[in-house]
Amino acid sequence: MTEQQNPDSRYVNATLLLYDGEEGERSPFLELIKTQHLTECQVMERTVLACIDQFVDPASPDISLPKLREALVLADANKTRVEVNQLLARGAGCTVEAVLLREAKRIPVVVEEFKTNLCAGLLKKSPPPGPKKAKK
């Protein structure tokens, strides 16, 4: 807080929280937010992989897309169908349209390839749904 800022103010001077030092170092607040975000993504990745492992048949290297869909929903029940489709497509290494066709034709995917492709990007947990508005 600077001397110009009123201590009773409801507003926060964001430039003080997000400053870069003279030598380019980030503020402790920025580093804390970055660390928290990366930790949440790592936890979500471990959760998703553990859920997928629950559906894997050890005797087969393949897994069906409906089982993967179920595993993704189990890992994050707040994900929309569109978000789950995007994750399935990323894991399968194809477009959303192609993954939906593969799912309809019951074409399995290789589990290890799916997990590798899926973890190539950050996995974020969905926010909890907000309160529903009352109808008038």
**How many domains does the chain contain in total?**
1
pTM of this structure: 0.76
Question: Is residue 18 one of the residues assigned to a domain?
Answer: no
Q: Is 78 part of any domain?
A: yes
Question: Could you tell me if 39 and 55 are in contact, meaning their C-beta atoms sit under 8 angstroms apart?
Answer: no
The predicted-structure confidence for 19-67, as pLDDT tens digits, reads as follows 666 777 777 778 888 889 999 999 999 999 999 999 999 999 999 999 9
Q: Is residue 68 part of a domain?
A: yes
Distance, in Å, from the CA atom of 86 to the CA atom of 7, rounded to the nearest integer, reads 46
Question: Quick check: is 50 in a domain?
Answer: yes
Whether 131 is in a domain gets the answer no
Instruction: Note the pLDDT of residue 134.
Output: 66
Residue 129 lies in a domain: no
Give the relative orientation of helices 111-118 and 28-55 as an angle to the nearest 10 degrees: 170
For residue 19, tell me if it sits in a domain: no
Enclosing domain of residue 40: 24-118
Mean pLDDT, residues 105-117: 96
Contacts of 108 (CB under 8 A, 6+ apart): 62, 63, 64, 65
Examine residue 14 and state whether it is found in any structural domain, yes or no.
no
Least Cα distance to 122 among 46, 68, 45, 69 occurs for: 45
Report helix angle 111-118 to 81-92, nearest 10: 110
User: Is residue 55 a contact partner of residue 67, using CB atoms and an 8 Å limit?
Assistant: yes
